[in-house]
């Protein structure tokens, strides 16, 4: 039997098994949910680590608001899930403020070193910025982000917010299974960089599932933040320590780069999808790709086709291809981006792009429009409080544990987000000193009739806009509950042009990865349309969500079944 046929039979077996499991009739009546929604009246926290969820929940119970709890939970995750985020990474948030009844966005991404130039990189023979080591390091933005949102909306003291993470860093915490799995695979890759082995291994190996992990240097770093505020990270002795370390190891990130950093309050942007307002932050992130996908799909009656039908999957993949070509060609730091965001997410532009979809045939290649990812490990969390405030927060070191560059006595690793720059003159995302790179991490928020509805995120590099659109479709078109919307099998299309210039154009239509649970009849129909189908290499994404149930005055929470996390309320 030929290898191709064996692969197809294996795919059929996996999908059939998933379909059978999906048919299990839960008592809630929602067969796709791994468990029922969590429901509570006064507050809700959903994160990818149960201990971080409990820290956020404790902050709410002690009188803190959703902003305090979000920072507390994020601080815990920087300690407990260094495989997905860290103090050396960047930060974005969308906040619903109950007092003003408005959404606020914060872009906490850092810029490239001012002393590193495109000409130097090209002279050294680089065609792409390396994945790890000193060159992809950009200014970390998370600490500034914490203090910015706390100053504007927080109520508890920074000391009270960070103390639980300080205690866990000094006394230790047991490692969950999935984080241990990722950590073990990171150690061989990052061990060559100075400081990593000393601070992120036990005798040269990764900590194991269930083993107690301590990070006393990280506790010291958090105590600096309590005592000195955000300037303790960007202008104090810690900033000089980071800069000296980078200079000693071939890096360009300087004390001046750190001291000059400021994040930005920005207005979220939105599109209306079947009566629901879907909110994202504008570039340098990729969130508007999710809005473009939804705009293209709005003209098709997905509900009548049904979840998992050939039409559902085909239309989603084709809309994604179109949006991602724009993502590759146009998205960048807004100070360097020439294309108008309003036009990219307009209904008129979506109508133009929609005309390129053939219902009977998969597109082999598409071009970016001419208007008037990637691997990434990330955390996202959602929090809501008794006052009605809600926070969607996402934070990352980008590729796994980051660059591997681990400043002495710091307890954290610097990010490698600068890898996302393009080393080709004329591209919107071309490297430049003091520029923000293209970003994959994106928070999301849904409102209905001007009221907050769902705070959510779904991490995972280039999966994020695809995942965001699928969550909205599952909730709105297919009427799923909050947990089921995240547990339902996911579609992942790979092979679109990347914003890093790593591919000039999508070739041969890319590959459609399907998680188990899609009918084999759908797979066969997609293959007849010309799609290249492959069973999931994922899991794809990590979803956390909180929903406001205005009818009953309660919150619903959901946490990703593919992660170690938990949703909990009180």
Q: Can you spell out the DSSP letters for 238-252?
A: HHHHHHHHHHHTT--
Helix axes 66-80, 216-228, angle to 10 degrees: 150
- Per annotation, catalytic residue among 221, 271, 378, 447: 378
- What's the predicted TM-score (pTM) here? 0.92
pLDDT tens digit string along 173-201?
Answer: 999 999 999 999 999 999 999 999 999 99
pLDDT at 18 over 60: no
- Round to whole Å and give the CA distance between 11 and 495: 20
**Closest listed residue to residue 221, CA positions, set 82, 84, 75:** 75
pLDDT tens digit string along 521-537?
Answer: 999 999 999 999 988 77
pLDDT at 68: 98
Contacts of 207 (CB under 8 A, 6+ apart): 175, 180, 183, 201, 213
Q: What angle do CA 189, 191, 194 make, to 5 degrees?
A: 130
Contacts of 438 (CB under 8 A, 6+ apart): 283, 284, 286, 331, 332, 333, 420, 421, 429, 499, 500
What is the overall mean pLDDT for the chain? Answer: 91
pLDDT at 2 over 50: no
pLDDT at 304: 98
- Round to whole Å and give the CA distance between 213 and 106: 32
pLDDT at 9 over 80: no
pLDDT at 505 over 80: no
Q: Looking at per-residue confidence, does 570 or 494 come out higher?
A: 570
β-bridge pairing 390-398 and 90-97:
antiparallel
pLDDT tens digit string along 99-138?
Answer: 999 999 999 999 999 999 999 999 999 999 999 999 999 9
* For residues 370-397, average pLDDT: 81
pLDDT at 523: 96
In this structure, how many other beta carbons lie within 10 angstroms of the beta carbon of residue 335? 11
- Round to whole Å and give the CA distance between 247 and 32: 52
CA dihedral 426, 396, 442, 419 (to 10 degrees): 10
pLDDT at 497 over 80: no
DSSP assigned state of 205? B
pLDDT at 354 over 50: yes
Q: Looking at per-residue confidence, does 470 or 504 come out higher?
A: 470
- Output the CA–CA distances (angstroms, integers) from residue 237 to 53, 218, 234, in the order listed: 32, 15, 9
Q: Which of 20-24, 90-94, 395-399, 460-464 has the lowest mean pLDDT?
A: 20-24
pLDDT at 371 over 70: no
Instruction: Label residue 41 by pLDDT band (50, 70, 90).
Output: very high
Q: Which run of H or E residues covers position 142?
A: helix 142-153
Q: Strand order of the sheet with strand 511-514?
A: 491-494, 511-514, 533-535
Answer whether 171's CB lies under 8 Å from 82's CB: no
Is 378 a catalytic site residue?
A: yes
Instruction: Label residue 29 by pLDDT band (50, 70, 90).
Output: low
Instruction: Label residue 503 by pLDDT band (50, 70, 90).
Output: very low
Contacts of 244 (CB under 8 A, 6+ apart): none
Sign of the alpha-carbon torsion through 451, 455, 456, 457: positive
pLDDT at 13 over 50: no
Highest mean pLDDT, choosing among 282-286, 298-302, 515-519: 298-302
pLDDT at 78 over 60: yes
pLDDT at 40 over 60: yes
pLDDT at 369: 61
């Amino acid at each position: 039997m030929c290898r191709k046929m064996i692969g197809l039979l294996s795919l059929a077996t996996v999908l059939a098994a998933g379909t059978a499991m999906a048919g299990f009739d839960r008592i809630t009546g929602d067969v796709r949910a791994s468990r029922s929604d969590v429901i509570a009246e006064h507050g809700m926290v959903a994160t990818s680590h149960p201990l971080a969820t409990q820290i956020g929940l404790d902050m709410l119970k002690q009188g803190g608001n959703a902003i305090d709890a979000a920072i507390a939970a994020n601080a815990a995750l920087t300690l407990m899930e260094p495989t997905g985020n860290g103090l050396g990474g960047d930060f974005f948030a969308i906040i619903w403020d109950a007092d003003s009844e408005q959404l606020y966005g914060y872009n906490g991404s850092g810029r490239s070193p001012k002393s590193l130039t495109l000409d130097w990189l090209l002279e050294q023979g680089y065609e792409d910025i390396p994945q790890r080591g000193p060159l992809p390091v950009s200014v970390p933005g998370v600490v500034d982000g914490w203090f910015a949102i706390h100053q504007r909306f927080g109520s508890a003291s920074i000391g009270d917010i960070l103390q639980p993470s300080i205690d866990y860093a000094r006394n230790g915490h047991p490692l969950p299974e999935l984080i241990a799995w990722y950590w073990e695979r990171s150690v061989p890759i990052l061990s060559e960089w100075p400081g990593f082995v000393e601070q992120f291994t036990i005798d040269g190996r990764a900590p194991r599932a269930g083993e107690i992990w301590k990070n006393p240097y990280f506790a010291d770093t958090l105590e600096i933040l309590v005592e000195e505020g955000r300037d303790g990270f960007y202008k104090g002795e810690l900033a000089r320590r980071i800069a000296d370390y980078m200079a000693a190891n071939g890096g360009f990130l300087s004390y001046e780069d750190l001291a000059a950093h400021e994040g930005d309050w920005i207005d979220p942007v939105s599109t209306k999808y079947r009566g629901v307002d879907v909110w994202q932050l504008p570039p340098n992130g990729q969130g508007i790709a999710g809005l473009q996908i939804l705009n293209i799909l709005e003209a098709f009656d997905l509900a009548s086709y049904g979840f998992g039908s050939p039409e559902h999957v085909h239309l989603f993949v084709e809309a994604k291809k179109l949006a991602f070509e724009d993502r590759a060609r146009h998205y960048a730091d807004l100070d360097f981006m020439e294309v108008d965001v309003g036009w990219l997410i307009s209904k008129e532009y979506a109508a133009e792009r929609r005309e390129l979809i053939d219902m009977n045939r998969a597109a082999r290649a598409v071009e970016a429009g001419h208007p008037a990812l990637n691997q990434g490990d990330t955390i996202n969390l959602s929090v809501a409080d008794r006052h009605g405030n809600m926070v969607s927060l996402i934070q990352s070191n980008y590729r796994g544990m980051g660059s591997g560059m681990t400043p002495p006595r710091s307890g954290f690793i610097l990010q490698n987000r600068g890898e996302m720059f393009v080393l080709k003159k004329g591209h919107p995302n071309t490297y430049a000193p003091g520029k923000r790179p293209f970003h994959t991490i994106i928070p999301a928020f849904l409102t209905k009739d001007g009221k907050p509805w769902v705070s959510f995120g779904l991490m995972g590099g280039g999966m994020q806009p695809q995942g965001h659109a699928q969550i909205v479709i599952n909730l709105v078109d297919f009427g799923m509950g909050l947990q089921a919307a995240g547990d339902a099998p996911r579609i992942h299309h790979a092979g679109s042009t990347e914003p890093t210039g790593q591919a000039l154009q999508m070739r041969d239509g890319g590959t459609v990865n399907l998680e188990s649970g899609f009918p084999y009849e759908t797979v066969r129909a997609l293959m007849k349309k010309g799609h290249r189908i492959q069973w999931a290499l994922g899991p794809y994404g990590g979803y956390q969500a909180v929903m406001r149930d205005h009818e009953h005055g309660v919150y619903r929470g959901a946490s990703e079944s593919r992660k170690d996390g938990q949703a909990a309320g009180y």
